[in-house]
Amino acid sequence: MRTGRHGHVLAALADPGYRRLFAVRLACQFGDGVFQAGLTGAVLFDPERQAHASDVAAGFTVLLLPYSLVGPFAGVLLDRWWRQRVLLFANVARALGVLAVAGEIAGGLRGFPFYASALVIISLSRFVLSALSAAQPHVVQTRELVTANALSTTGGGLLAALGGGAAIAVRSLLGNTNGDYALIAAAALLPYLAAAAVVRGFPRTVLGPSDAERAARETPREVAHGLVAGARLVRGMPPVANALAAMAAHRLCFGVWTVCTVLLYRNYFTDDGVFQAGLTGLGQVVAAVATGAAFAAVVTPAAFRRFGGVRWPAAMFAASGATVLALGLPYSAPLLVLEALLLGFASQAVKISVDTLLQQDVADAFRGRVFALYDALFNVALVVAAVLTAAVLPETGHSPAAIVAIAAGWLANAALYLRTAPRTTPAAR
């Protein structure tokens, strides 16, 4: 390869606009990690409550499904509002919102009001990530998008894991009460405010959309028609449509594995030396996923250019299926951590590839709504996985049949993507 890996990285980082946008993502996702660790601990690892598969499913459904329904409309807003303003005000709103949720955790509030409050924070987080993805082509040259995506999404994932790990470490020092989890959740306001401060350095217009796109003032009916037009655009672009379908199937398999893992660490595993049960053990899994994602960021740009946008993701789907079969069936905590490392690598490699495909193939006038649709597919697939898992999985999470089903799903996804996706790559075009 004429331009080495380090050359592509340096080229992407050479633009100060990209460096600033990268810093915004890192701060945002560090805050997400802190907040989600506090929320997860309060909901699923409260020693006074027994966590069931239905609890996990209910949490995913309440927190993710509503935004999945409004996400496409949010994407239209990303194609109309200054994305710099979206990133600024959404982060300020999140900083204020985490204080309210922290108060509810401290007071032991559960049920609909609590989930509704958390929903606001999670929805804003997804909105911010969609805005970051839609804005990135404005600060990165097209030929460096795959490298920039590798840096951005993987760096963000690492910072989310680091934020979660830091929250878990603080929790081990504080204790396991509602007040402790409330303090952890409230701490997320600091990185959110930091992200807002960094994004203020952008001129208002530099992240798009263009003046011509912003000049269109749409009614709700026109928004719906715009979404239909966006869906037709995707349907008429086989590389984009196939990539979104394959990503949704991948997310479904990963979602089932995630719910199984949460229940195993909550109700099945016990401490085994350095490999802990409970929230600490789950934190080890999250760290392993993030580490795998970091390796994917190093490998994927070159692999994507070498093998293309079809064979490389398909290989990752197949590798995920083989990994789950080999390392999941023994139901050993050390092997599960290794499994998480490999699945983290594969998942991030797929995401980098699909992000790059969308950014290169979708026009900027539609890019915001397509990324919002993409994000909605992520959420719906995870909700479906949680509901399916809750219906069939024992409370311990121990189910060899589920492991076999997950592996079969990934292997089938690999075969279908290889068969249906056009054998061209965005980079080649």
SS (H, E, C) 328-391: HCCCCHHHHHHHHHHHHHHHHHHHHHHHHHHHHHCCHHHHHHHHHHHHHHHHHHHHHHHHHHHH
Give me the pLDDT at residue 3, please.
46
Give me the pLDDT at residue 215, please.
67
**227: its two tokens:** 């979404």
Q: How far apart are the C-alpha atoms of 163 and 143, rounded to whole Å?
A: 31
Give me the pLDDT at residue 208, please.
87
Give me the pLDDT at residue 78, please.
81
Q: 5-204+220-420, superfamily in CATH? A: MFS general substrate transporter like domains (1.20.1250.20)
Residue entry with tokens 């306001």? 189
Give me the pLDDT at residue 2, please.
41
- Domain definitions of the chain by residue range: 5-204+220-420
pLDDT in tens, the chain (429 residues): 344 556 667 777 888 999 999 999 999 999 999 998 888 888 777 665 656 667 677 767 766 776 666 666 676 778 788 999 999 999 999 999 999 999 999 988 877 788 888 888 888 888 898 899 889 988 998 888 888 888 898 889 889 989 999 998 898 888 878 888 899 999 999 999 999 999 999 999 999 887 766 666 555 566 667 667 767 777 878 888 888 899 999 999 998 998 899 889 988 999 888 999 888 898 899 889 989 988 998 899 889 888 888 889 999 999 999 999 999 999 999 999 999 999 999 999 998 888 888 877 787 777 767 776 787 787 788 888 888 887 788 888 899 999 999 999 999 999 999 888 655 444 434
**321: its two tokens:** 């299926």
Look up the pTM and report it: 0.75
Give me the pLDDT at residue 218, please.
58
Give me the pLDDT at residue 429, please.
43
Give me the pLDDT at residue 115, please.
80
Strand partners, 272: 275
Q: List all residues 6 or more positions away from 133 whose beta carbon is below 8 Å from its beta carbon.
A: 355, 358, 359, 371
